[in-house]
Amino acid sequence: MFLGHIAVGLAGKRGVPTVSLATWLTSVQLVDMLWPIFLLAGLEHVRIAPGITRFTPLDFYDYPITHSLVGSAAWAVVFGAGCLLVYRDVRIAVLLAAGVMSHWVLDVISHRPDMPVLPRGPYIGLGLWNSVPATLVVELTMFAIGLMLYVRSGRAGRRRASFWLLMAFVLVAYFAAAFGPPPPNVSVLAWSGLIGWLLVPWAWLADREKTGSN
């Protein structure tokens, strides 16, 4: 649920404007940012199986470290602790840790029952991805709401080309993954997944309050 996660990040930014959008996007996407690294390290596994759901050709059969409920909770604690050190504010740290957990909840909504509660199951998933129209309606609605919340917050980013280019990039990446051909192999998938890290410096530049160029 890529756009749905981004939407939560945009909404989080509205809720806690003192935290950069870069930090918010890292929070909501943390486990998906770590996932390609664990794939490349051979610690988690995925299969390319066109038809497994209507929306994605990926069979997520083994990702206990990044995508189990307990794994996500552990990452949330680590991320929240780091944020507590940086921001020295318990409320902010808890909200950013909740952002990490929101990823798991939204993934449960979209995935088929492949989301582990404990590292080796039980597995749950509501299967939104079994319907392309339903997936698009839910995610695009969430994204539109998140974007509206950000724009109405009066952040400098709403006037910056870099912010709108970031939003355009997110949409293009989403539609390319949804409607483009399946990745040729897991290695290409994992390496291209690392592009997600690019959003962090990009969001930081787009969202900073200092006036200046784009």
Which spans of this chain sit near Zn ion (rule: CB under 5 A)? 32, 107
Minimum separation from the CB atom of position 7 to Zn ion (A):
14
* Choice between 87 and 123, CB closer to Zn ion: 123
Please give the helix or strand (H or E) that residue 199 lies within, else none: helix 199-207
Residue 87 to residues 5, 83, 96, 180, 181: CA-CA distances in angstroms?
A: 23, 6, 11, 40, 42
Minimum separation from the CB atom of position 117 to Zn ion (A):
15
Q: Are 139 and 3 in contact (CB under 8 A)?
A: yes
* Choice between 44 and 107, CB closer to Zn ion: 107
How far apart (Å, rounded) are the C-alpha atoms in residues 140 and 103?
16
* Choice between 32 and 59, CB closer to Zn ion: 32
Minimum separation from the CB atom of position 67 to Zn ion (A):
6
Query: What are the φ and ψ backbone dihedral angles of 57, each rounded to 5 degrees?
Result: -90, 10
* Choice between 162 and 192, CB closer to Zn ion: 192
Minimum separation from the CB atom of position 54 to Zn ion (A):
18
* Choice between 28 and 205, CB closer to Zn ion: 28
Query: For residue 17, with 0-12 CB atoms within 10 Å meaning exposed, 13-18 middle and 19 or more buried, which class applies?
Result: middle
Minimum separation from the CB atom of position 32 to Zn ion (A):
4
* Choice between 32 and 89, CB closer to Zn ion: 32
At 183, is the secondary structure helix, strand, or coil? coil
How far apart (Å, rounded) are the C-alpha atoms in residues 153 and 11?
10
Minimum separation from the CB atom of position 158 to Zn ion (A):
27
- For the chain, count helices (H), then strands (E): 9, 4
The pair of structure tokens assigned to 208 is 């900073």
Q: Is the peptide bond before 122 cis (omega within 30 degrees of 0)?
A: yes
